[in-house]
Amino acid sequence: MILTLQKYWAQQGCVILQPYDMEVGAGTFHWATALKALTPANATEQDKKWRAAYVQACRRPADGRYGENPNRLQHYFQFQVLLKPSPKDSQELYLESLKEIGIKVEEHDIRFVEDDWESPTLGAKGLGWEVWCNGMEVSQFTYFQQVGGFPCKPVSTELTYGLERLAMYLQEKESIFELQYNDNMKYGEIYTEMEKSYGRFNFELANVDKIREQFSESEKQCIEICDKAKTKSDALPAYDYCLKASHLFNLLDARGAVQQNARPDYILRVRQLAHACCAVWLGEQRREAKR
Amino acid sequence: MSVDTSSAEKLNSQNVDTAELIVELYSEEIPWRMQEPMAQSLAMLLATELARALGLPKLDNHRLDNVEGAFGKQQLYSTPRRVAVAFDSVPKESKAWQETLKGPRVASPQVAVDGFLRKNKLGSTKECFKIEDRKGDYYAINIDHRSVATNGILGEVVSKVVMQMQKELKVSMRFADQSFRWVRPLRHILVVFAGAGVEGSINLGGELDQQEKLDFTNRTRGATLGSAEPFLVASIKDYEKKLRDNYVEPIYEQRLEIIKKDVESVNDNQNIIIEENACLTEYPCVLTGHFYEEFLSLPLGLIEAVLNHHQKIIYNVDYSTARCDFYFVANISQTTDKNKAIRGVERVVRARLADAKFMLERDKRIPIAEHIKKLEEITFHPKLGSIADKNSRVKKLIPIIISELEKHNDNFSISKDCNQAWFAKEVDQQKMGLATETVREFPKLQEIISEGLKPRNIFDVFIIPSINITELADAVDSLITLWFVGERASGSSDPFALRRYATTIINNLIKPRAVGKIDNGNNNESCVKESSGYYLPLSIIFDEILNITIDQGIHLNTNTNDVSRYYLAPEPIPFITTRIYQWMRYNYEDVRVDCIEAILIKPLNIEDCNILKMIERIKTLSGEMDKNNNLAEIYNRLQAILSSDLEEGEPFLLDAESYQEGKLVDHIEAKDLPNEKLFEKPEEKALFAFAKDIIMEGKAWDELSYQKKLESLANLKSLLDAFFDKVMVNVEDKKIRHNRVILLYRIFRRFGELANFSKIHHKDLKQQSRQQKASA
C-alpha cells in the first residue's frame, strides 16, 4: 500500500521523503509540511511549487491502550502529501490515489465531511474535510490557511492517510493487531509488545519532574537558536527543539501531570516556539504572545 | 419554495417578453449547514441586483419572501457541491425608466452639496429640484435610463452578486495563490439566460501568477463520482433533468423525501441527522444494516452518540427482538452493486460500537474511588478550581440547604438514611463519569455514564422525589460561583449554561401539578394547575456558597471578600426572575403575561426571592385581573392625577418605581397622613371612611392576605369614581388640595406594595379576544 501511494504521488511530481527522525504527533509536523507550507518572500521556484509525500511514524502517548484496544495505538503510521500551491484538481488526484490502492470510488460511499482542522500547538489551521469511505474516516483533506500564526501564501493541499485504518478496511480486519503485515507476520506480532511497554512508560513510568525540566530546556534551546539565526534554514534545528517540547508536553499530558488550568499555558508555550521557528523561516519578526 | 405572485403576472399582462435565468455556483463540498442559506442568499441578492439594474421596483434583499415572485416562479437548488437559483420569467430587456436620485439636504454644508453636484456632473443646484419630507427639503435629480438588454447586464450583475456573497460568508478560505475567498474552492459559475450562456467572469486575484479569472459557463457536472463529462444546460427543465440523469437530485426537499421514504418509524429527534444526510449526498441511497444483542447492552445514549453523532447513521432499536436496524445514507449511484458498501458500513459500525463497549467495560473495571480521585485533575472553571473543589463546596452547602428547607417548610422532611456521608458519596458519584475514558470520547454522556457506573443500593430512592438536593446544590454552586467570577449569559450566548442552572433551581423548588380541567364559561377549557413546592431563602443560600468559595481561597469578583448578607447575593436574583418568567409562560399558559411582569420585574418586597410566593402572587393577580379591570383602572386614574402638575413645572413622581426608591418629589412625605378635618365633600369623607385600613398604617392592612389586599383595593372603584366625579383636587386652597393629594397618594402607594402596576395592560387583550371568540 505504501509503495503504491509513493509511486502514485511520485508520478504527480512529489519528492518522496523518508520519515522525520523526531517524535511527532502527526505527519503534519514533519518540516516538509509544517515549514514548507510557508513561502518566504524570496523563495526559489522550487520552494514556491513544493510537492512532497512521505510516511511518518506518529506518537500520541495519551492514545495508547497497552495494546488491548483493537482500535487504538500510541504509535502508528500516516502517509502524508503536501501539494503547493493547491492544484485545481486536488480532489480528483486524491480520489485517483484511492483507486490505486484498491478502493473503487464507484463501489463505495465516499464523502467529504466538513472538518476544519486546527493544531493549537503548531498554530496551524485549514479548511477541508474528513474523507469517509463507507462511514470510516480514511483521510484528512485540508487546504492549509495558516502555520505558526503566519498565513500560507499560496495555499497548499495537505492529505493525510491513516494507514492502519485503510489497511484494516482493505484486509477486512476488525483489529489492528490482526492486520497481515506481510505473508507470514501480523501487525500485532511486531507491535503489541511495544504498545504494552510504551503504555506502561507513558502512563506510569515517565519521570514527570525530569520531563518538565526537559520541556523547559528544549524551550530555551529553541528560542536561543531562533535568536541567533542567520539564515532561514536555521529554523530547522530550532524546529527540532519545538518538536521535542511538543512531544514532552504530550507525555506530561498522558501522565496526567498537566493540571487542567495549566494546559492552555503549555499549549501556548509550544505554539510560541512554532511561531518563532516559522518567523525565522520566513525572515519575519516574531510577535510576543498575549498570555 | 416556488411561488407565483403578482409582479410576475403584471410582467406577463404587460406583454413583456421574458425568459428563464439559471445561476449555479459549483464548488467543492460545502458544509451542510451552509448550503441552504447560501442558496437563499444567492436568490435574494440576484433578484435585488437584477431589479435594480432593470429599473424595477426596489426589493428588500434581507428577506427571501420579499423577492419571491419578482421574476416569476423561483426555484432554489442546493447540494453538497452547488447552490443555484432559477427564475422563470426575467424580462429580456428593461423599459426606459426614470430614477429619482435623492441628494443632500438643502440645509447641508456646502461641501456635501458640491460633492453631490460633482458626482452627478451638475453645474449648480439650479439643475436640481427640491423634495420635501419629514425632516425638511432635499435636493434631487431625475436620471433617465435607456432601455437595456438583460443579456448585456447579467454578467455584471452575477459577478456583483458573487462578490457580495463572498463578503457575507461566515467561513471562507483562500485557494492556491488566489485572493478570492469562498467556502471551499469555487469550480465554475453557470449562467444561462434565454437558453444560452451569458458572458462574464469574476476576478480571482493572484500574486505569484498573473491575475486569474473564472469565466462563466453554460455547462455543469453531475455527481462527483458518476459522470465524467460536463453537460450543456439550456433551460430549467433541462437543468433538472440532466442533473437527475447524472445522479444529482438538485432540490434539498426532494432528497429529504427520498431518505424519509426509506427510513421507517424513527423517533423525531433523529430528524436532524436525516436533514444532515440530505445535505451530505447529491443523490441519497439508503442502505440498511443491523446488529443484534451484542451491543444492545450499551446505554442507549451511547449507541445514539456512536451512530447518530459520530457516524451520522439513523437507527431504530427494538429491544423486544433485541435487534437494531440502521440506515446509512450513501452517496453512491442507484445502479451500482451496493453490497461492498453495505458490508463496509456494517464493519465500521461494529468496530465503532466495539470500541465504545471496550472503553465502557474498561471504565467499569476501574474502582469508583479511582474515578473520583481523578476529579481533582479535571477543571470546572480556571478560576474556580477542579471538579473535586466544586464537589467539596457542594457537600458543605447541602446541609445548609436541608436545614433552611426544614426551617421554612412544614411539609419537608428527609430520610434519616440520607445523612451527610450519603450525600457526599452521591455528589462524587454524580460527577465520576467525567473521569472516564468513555466520557472523554463522548463528552455529552457524563450523566448517563455516571449513572451506569454507580453501585445500586437500597437508599438510592429519594424519600422526597420532587426535590433532588444534590442537583439543586450543584446548580446553586455552578450559577453563583460562575456569576461571581464574571461569567454571564447574553443573547444566544450562554457558554457556561447559566440559564440551565437557574432553571434547575426553579424546577427543584416548585412543581406545577395539573388538578383537573374546568370550563371557564366561554367554552374554553383550561387546565388548572396548582403549584406545590418549597420555600428556600435563596439569598441566604447564595451568601453561604460565596462564603464557602472564599474559604477555599478562591478570589471572586466582588468589592470585598467579606460577604455580608443582602450585600452581594441579590445580584443574580433578577437573572433568576427572568427564568421564572419563561418558566411561568411555559407551565401556566393561562396566566396573563402582564401579571407575570408586574410581579417579576422589579420584585417588590418579596422576601428573599421566594419563588413559591412569587408564583402564587402572579396567579392571584392574574385571577383578580381576569374578574374585572377595576385595579388597572384605579391605578391608571390615580397615577394620572398624581403625576400631573400640581404646580406648574413641578413634577410629581409617584409611580411604583420612585416610591421604591424613596423619591417623593413635591410636598408629600411618606409619613404624611390626611387630615380628616380638612375634608369638605361627602365623597371624600366616604372614601376616607371606607379606605381607612388602606390609608393608615397598621395590622388591619398588614395581616390581610395578598388576595384580600387586591380585593380591598378593587372594591374602592365606585367610591373613587364618585370622588373623581364630585371632588376637585386641584383647588385654589393649597391646604385642601394638599390634603386630597395625600389621601389619594396613601391609596396609590399600596399598589406599589403589591405589584408593578405600570406593567399591567389597561385592557386584557387575551380576555378581549376570548370575548370576541365567544360572541362569534
B538-587 per-position pLDDT tens digit: 888 888 998 899 899 888 876 555 544 444 556 687 788 888 888 888 88
Residue A111 cell numbers, joined: 464523502
Please check whether residue B378 touches A, CB under 8 A. yes
Which of the residue ranges A88-102, A200-214, B359-373, B747-761 would you say has the lowest mean pLDDT? B747-761
> Which residue in B498, B479, B269 sits closest to B390, CA to CA?
B479
Instruction: Collect all residues of chain A within an 8 Å Cβ-Cβ radius of residue B312.
Output: 113, 135
Residue B76 cell numbers, joined: 432554489
pLDDT of residue B207 exceeding 90, the answer is no
Whether A135 and B348 lie within 8 Å, measured CB to CB: yes
**Separation between Cα atoms, residue B220 and residue B241, nearest integer Å:** 12
Residue B116 cell numbers, joined: 453631490
Instruction: Collect all residues of chain B within an 8 Å Cβ-Cβ radius of residue A71.
Output: 351, 354-355, 358
Please check whether residue B441 touches A, CB under 8 A. no
- Comparing CB atoms, the residue among B171, B226, B328 nearest residue A135 is B328
ipTM: 0.90
Please check whether residue B181 touches A, CB under 8 A. no
First vs last C-alpha separation in chain A: 45
Q: Which of residues 55-94 of B touch A (CB under 8 A)?
A: 80
Between B447 and B602, the more confident residue is B447
- The predicted pLDDT at position B219 comes to 93
Instruction: Collect all residues of chain B within an 8 Å Cβ-Cβ radius of residue A87.
Output: 176
* B763: three-class secondary structure by DSSP: coil
| Strand A117-119 versus strand B74-79 pairing type | unpaired
CB under 8 A, 24+ apart: contacts of A5-10: A5/A53, A5/A79, A5/A97, A5/A100, A5/A101, A5/A161, A6/A53, A7/A100, A8/A96, A8/A97, A8/A100, A9/A51, A9/A53, A9/A81, A9/A97, A10/A53
- The predicted pLDDT at position B764 comes to 47
- The predicted pLDDT at position B269 comes to 73
B684-719 per-position pLDDT tens digit: 999 999 999 998 888 989 999 999 999 999 999 999
- The predicted pLDDT at position B413 comes to 79
- The predicted pLDDT at position B158 comes to 96
- Report percent pLDDT > 70 for chain B: 82
Please check whether residue B29 touches A, CB under 8 A. yes
> Per-residue DSSP letters for B489-531?
-BTTB-TT-HHHHHHHHHHHHEEEEEEEEEE-SSS-EEEEEEE
pLDDT of residue B663 exceeding 50, the answer is no
Whether B185 and A87 lie within 8 Å, measured CB to CB: no
- Comparing CB atoms, the residue among B207, B354, B377 nearest residue A153 is B207
Whether A91 and B224 lie within 8 Å, measured CB to CB: yes
B305: DSSP letter: I
Q: Which of residues 258-297 of B touch A (CB under 8 A)?
A: 280-281, 287
**Separation between Cα atoms, residue A73 and residue A66, nearest integer Å:** 8
Amino acid letter, B544: E
Distances (CA, A) of B628 to A215, B315, B754, B757, B760: 77, 55, 17, 15, 13
- The predicted pLDDT at position A129 comes to 94
- The predicted pLDDT at position B411 comes to 80
B390-404 per-position pLDDT tens digit: 999 999 999 999 999
- Comparing CB atoms, the residue among B80, B330, B359 nearest residue A109 is B330
Whether A260 and B378 lie within 8 Å, measured CB to CB: yes
- The predicted pLDDT at position B391 comes to 95
Please check whether residue B313 touches A, CB under 8 A. yes
Residue A166 cell numbers, joined: 485503510
Residue B342 cell numbers, joined: 453495505
- Within 13 A of B648's CA, how many CA atoms are on the CB side? 0
**Contact indicator for B281, A135 with CB cutoff of 8 Å:** no
Centroid of chain to Cα B268? 21
Three-state SS across chain A?
CHHHHHHHHHHCCCEEECCCCCCCCCHHHCHHHHCCCCCCCCCCHHHHCCEEEEEEEEECHHHCCCCCCCCCCCEEEEEEEEECCCCCCHHHHHHHHHHHCCCCCCCCCEEEEECCEEECCCCEEEEEEEEEECCEEEEEEEEEEEECCEEEEEEEEEEEEEHHHHHHHHHCCCCHHHCECCCCCEHHHHHHHHHHHHHHHHHHHCCHHHHHHHHHHHHHHHHHHHHCCCCHHHHHHHHHHHHHHHHHHHHHHHCCCCCHHHHHHHHHHHHHHHHHHHHHHHCCCCCCCCC
B149: DSSP letter: B
Instruction: Determine if residue B234 is left, alpha or beta; phi over 0 gives left, psi from -120 to 50 gives alpha, anything else beta.
Output: alpha
Residue B706 cell numbers, joined: 395578598
Mean of pLDDT values over B106-112? 85
Give the closest-approach CA distance of A143 to chain B in angstroms: 7
Please check whether residue B358 touches A, CB under 8 A. yes
- The predicted pLDDT at position B569 comes to 53
- Comparing CB atoms, the residue among B175, B183, B313 nearest residue A86 is B175
> Which residue in B201, B151, B150 sits closest to B180, CA to CA?
B201
- The predicted pLDDT at position B531 comes to 61
Instruction: Collect all residues of chain A within an 8 Å Cβ-Cβ radius of residue B175.
Output: 86, 143, 155
Please check whether residue A85 touches B, CB under 8 A. yes
Which of the residue ranges A206-215, B420-429, B446-455, B735-744 would you say has the lowest mean pLDDT? B446-455
- The predicted pLDDT at position B574 comes to 77
Give the closest-approach CA distance of B624 to chain A in angstroms: 55
**Contact indicator for B480, B461 with CB cutoff of 8 Å:** no
Burial of A35 (0-12, 13-18, 19+ CB in 10 A): buried
Q: What is the pLDDT along chain A (291 residues), one digit of tens a residue?
A: 999 999 999 999 999 999 999 999 999 999 999 999 999 988 888 888 999 999 999 999 988 889 888 888 999 999 999 999 999 999 999 999 999 999 888 788 888 999 888 899 999 999 999 999 888 889 999 999 999 999 998 999 999 999 999 998 889 888 899 999 999 999 999 999 999 999 999 988 999 899 999 999 999 999 999 999 999 999 999 999 999 999 999 999 888 777 666 788 899 999 999 999 999 999 998 887 654
Peptide bond into A85 cis (omega under 30): yes
Instruction: Collect all residues of chain B within an 8 Å Cβ-Cβ radius of residue A72.
Output: 355
Instruction: Collect all residues of chain B within an 8 Å Cβ-Cβ radius of residue A135.
Output: 311-313, 328, 344-345, 348-349
Three-state SS across B622-642?
HHHHHHCCHHHHHHHHHHHHH
Amino acid letter, B730: N
**Separation between Cα atoms, residue B428 and residue B391, nearest integer Å:** 7
- The predicted pLDDT at position B241 comes to 95
**Contact indicator for B433, B445 with CB cutoff of 8 Å:** yes
Please check whether residue A116 touches B, CB under 8 A. yes
Mean of pLDDT values over B52-67? 74
**Separation between Cα atoms, residue B238 and residue B244, nearest integer Å:** 10
B321-333 per-position pLDDT tens digit: 888 888 888 877 6
The contacts of residue B32 (CB under 8 Å, 6+ apart) are A114, B80, B276, B279, B280
Q: Which of residues 328-357 of B touch A (CB under 8 A)?
A: 328, 330-333, 336-337, 340-341, 344-345, 347-351, 354-355
CB atoms under 10 Å from CB of B412, counted, come to 17
Please check whether residue A99 touches B, CB under 8 A. no
Whether A143 and B173 lie within 8 Å, measured CB to CB: yes
B591-601 per-position pLDDT tens digit: 888 888 888 87
| Strand A75-83 versus strand A51-59 pairing type | antiparallel
B17-47 per-position pLDDT tens digit: 899 999 999 999 999 999 999 999 999 999 9
- Comparing CB atoms, the residue among B173, B311, B362 nearest residue A135 is B311
Please check whether residue A45 touches B, CB under 8 A. no
Mean of pLDDT values over B675-684? 91
**Contact indicator for B35, B78 with CB cutoff of 8 Å:** yes
Please check whether residue A237 touches B, CB under 8 A. no
**Separation between Cα atoms, residue A125 and residue A140, nearest integer Å:** 13
Q: Which of residues 125-164 of A touch B (CB under 8 A)?
A: 126-129, 133-136, 143, 145, 153-155
Band of pLDDT at residue B13, cut at 50, 70 and 90 = very low
Amino acid letter, B663: K
- The predicted pLDDT at position B643 comes to 64
Please check whether residue A288 touches B, CB under 8 A. no
Please check whether residue B31 touches A, CB under 8 A. yes
Residue at grid coordinates 450513501: B330
Instruction: Collect all residues of chain B within an 8 Å Cβ-Cβ radius of residue A143.
Output: 173-175, 184-185
Whether A107 and B311 lie within 8 Å, measured CB to CB: no
Element (DSSP H or E) covering residue B196: strand B196-197
**Separation between Cα atoms, residue A282 and residue A151, nearest integer Å:** 11
Q: Specify the length of chain B in residues.
A: 776
What backbone torsions phi and psi does residue B162 show, to the nearest 5 degrees? -65, -40
Centroid of chain to Cα A148? 14
> Which residue in B751, B741, B681 sits closest to B716, CA to CA?
B751
Give the closest-approach CA distance of A285 to chain B in angstroms: 22
Whether B171 and A127 lie within 8 Å, measured CB to CB: yes
**Contact indicator for A27, A52 with CB cutoff of 8 Å:** no
What backbone torsions phi and psi does residue B400 show, to the nearest 5 degrees? -65, -45
Whether B174 and A112 lie within 8 Å, measured CB to CB: no
B670: DSSP letter: T
Please check whether residue A108 touches B, CB under 8 A. yes
Instruction: Collect all residues of chain B within an 8 Å Cβ-Cβ radius of residue A69.
Output: 355, 358-359
Which of the residue ranges B50-64, B296-310, B737-751 would you say has the lowest mean pLDDT? B50-64
CB atoms under 10 Å from CB of B776, counted, come to 5
**Separation between Cα atoms, residue A54 and residue A5, nearest integer Å:** 9
Give the closest-approach CA distance of A277 to chain B in angstroms: 23
Interface test with B, best of A73, A109, A143 (most B CBs within 10 A): A109
Mean pLDDT of chain B: 81
Give the closest-approach CA distance of B357 to chain A in angstroms: 10
Element (DSSP H or E) covering residue B328: strand B323-330
**Separation between Cα atoms, residue B171 and residue B173, nearest integer Å:** 7
Mean of pLDDT values over B618-624? 89
CB atoms under 10 Å from CB of A216, counted, come to 13
What backbone torsions phi and psi does residue B171 show, to the nearest 5 degrees? -125, 130
Between B272 and A261, the more confident residue is B272
Amino acid letter, B703: E
Band of pLDDT at residue B740, cut at 50, 70 and 90 = confident
Instruction: Collect all residues of chain B within an 8 Å Cβ-Cβ radius of residue A108.
Output: 332, 340-341, 344
B602-617 per-position pLDDT tens digit: 544 455 578 888 888 8
Band of pLDDT at residue B5, cut at 50, 70 and 90 = very low
B497-533 per-position pLDDT tens digit: 889 899 999 888 887 655 444 444 444 444 445 567 8
> Which residue in B601, B529, B553 sits closest to B389, CA to CA?
B553
Mean of pLDDT values over B614-640? 87
Give the closest-approach CA distance of B570 to chain A in angstroms: 30
Please check whether residue A106 touches B, CB under 8 A. yes
B163-181 per-position pLDDT tens digit: 999 999 988 999 988 889 9
- Residue of chain A whose Cα is closest to the Cα of B306: A135
Residue B548 cell numbers, joined: 464557602
Of the ranges A90-104, B91-105, B128-142, B196-210, which is most confident? Answer: A90-104
**CB pairs < 8 Å spanning A and B:** 134
Mean of pLDDT values over B657-673? 55
Question: What is the model's pTM?
Answer: 0.74
Which of the residue ranges A78-82, B130-134, B158-162 would you say has the lowest mean pLDDT? B130-134
